[in-house]
Chain A
Amino acid sequence: MSQTSTIDTQDSNPEGLTGFVKDWSADKQTYNVPWGKAMMWIFLVSDTFIFSCFLVGYMTVRISTAEPWPLATEVFALSFFGSEPIPLILIAIMTFVLITSSGTMALAVNYGYRRDRQKTVWLMVATAALGATFVGMQVFEWSKLIGYGVRPWGNPWGAPQFGSVFYMVTGFHGLHVSAGVIYLLVVARKVWRGDYEKKGYEIVEITGLYWHFVDLVWVFIFAFFYLL
């Protein structure tokens, strides 16, 4: 009896391609995850398309303009205490801040499933604080570029499209980070109150998915807009 039931569970839940076909063709729900997680993934896939539209649009204007593209490495250089400007340093620090926040978020998800509420809350608050730091640095960066005279319709160095792409892409990403900070704090408060003791802590993983996605988008912006 026990042997047949083992075989049965193995058969109805195979991994890989067989499982893929079985999940889609069986007369049952396709995704073996909580509905909130499936919905978050659907949202993230659609958000991928929005960011991709911006980045592909950026590629198109950058290829099609015959005017020279401003040098990001010089535009985003920063000097400390009167030193020589260090190329792209602010963006590098922002990248490290965001990666650190992704790490704390991954740990928060892990502690959530271990039902260690205190650690989960503190790691989520730390993630939110790092996210807020990132947005703060972005505000500083925007104010610096506005000071240089970079506008969506022109800048002192080259192709006018530089400004429109910069404000559009980093602005939309910054909006996502800001929304993520609020989302994190709301969920952290509910975890702290113990709202999920009965339901389970999938919500922390779902929040984490959103946060990692924001980091993922930054990886592409950092490479395509700032480095290339």
Chain B
Amino acid sequence: MASASGQQHPLGIYLKIWILLFVLSIFSYMVDYFDVQGPMRWTLVLVFMTLKAGFILAIFMHVMWERMALAMTILGPPSILLLLIFFMAIEGNYTESARVQYFGQDANATPLHVSH
């Protein structure tokens, strides 16, 4: 489908995805508004984020309709970042535990509230 004549698709699909992105954004804002906390917050925020990012990439940026050679060039290299995230999370946890253990910092301190 991808050709030199460019990506041409019916208008309807853009409008539907546009509305869907709005709805997903409202949902992710509602997570904060209703103060959902803990693992539920992480799950909901990450699910809505992944869906939004996926729809923008697949439909608005036309990756869904591109040939696999281009799609792999776009999605392949950034997937290596998962490894970086994994390593840096381990490293960060180690640093924090060292600070708590040797500097006597309180890992469970709560931030001060903001006065407007």
Contact = CB atoms under 8 A, between A and B. Distances in A.
Q: Is the interface of A mostly helix, strand, loop or mixed?
A: helix
Given A16-B68, A41-B73, A70 B45 contact: no
Interface stretch (A27-35, A127-135, A179-187): A27-35
Contacts of B17: 106
User: Which of under 10, 10 to 19, 20 to 34, or 35 or more describes the interface residues of A?
Assistant: 35 or more
B9 A110 contact: yes
Given A19-B68, A66-B106, 7 more contacts: A23-B67, A33-B2, A64-B99, A68-B110, A113-B8, A159-B111, A219-B52
A126 interface: no
Contacts of B68: 15-17, 19-20, 23
Nearest to A86: B33
Interface of A: 15-17, 19-20, 23-24, 30-34, 38, 41-42, 44-45, 48-49, 52, 56, 59-71, 73-75, 77-79, 85, 87-88, 92, 95-96, 99, 102-103, 105-107, 109-110, 113-114, 148, 156-159, 200-202, 205, 208-209, 212-213, 215-216, 219-220, 222-223, 226-228
A37 B68 CA distance: 15
A102 B56 contact: yes
Contacts of A226: 32
User: Which of under 10, 10 to 19, 20 to 34, or 35 or more describes the interface residues of B?
Assistant: 35 or more
